[in-house]
Amino acid sequence: MSYEPNYRFFCLPVDVNIDDYVETIDWGNDNLEADTVLPLTTDEVEYYHAQGLWHTISEQTGELLEPSEDDSIHDIETIEKVYDAFLNMDTPKDKNIEKMIYILKYAIDHNRDLFIHI
């Protein structure tokens, strides 16, 4: 089992503005305790893949998202679709999924891009 959180689901908070993609990913890596960052382990990424979570995102974005893939969503309407899909999915909502829903809502409310670094 891997307990090292090597992956991120996040958006930048309103007081942070970074235009460079690599610097944004670095910010996510350096700010694991931020309210808008969800660190994930390899085991968690694989578990959510088996649960169809990444497929749910792929259905809403039109982009393939699987483990070892990265994505960023810049369109608020697409983030809203992902948010709605998460609220309506049959998968039990554990603490990580609840945090993802929180981050999605934050991104919508504050017009922030979403970064999925899995």
Nearest 5°: CA angle at 29, between 22 and 112? 65
Strands (DSSP E) contained in the chain are: 7-10, 37-40, 70-73, 114-117
User: Each residue of 43-82: pLDDT tens digit?
Assistant: 998 888 888 887 888 888 766 555 555 667 888 999 999 9
Predicted local confidence at residue 93, as pLDDT: 83
Q: Hey, what domains does the chain have and what are their CATH numbers?
A: 7-117 (3.40.1760.20)
Is the distance from CB of 111 to CB of 12 less than 8 angstroms?
Answer: no
User: Each residue of 3-57: pLDDT tens digit?
Assistant: 677 888 899 999 998 988 889 989 999 999 999 999 999 899 888 888 888 788 8
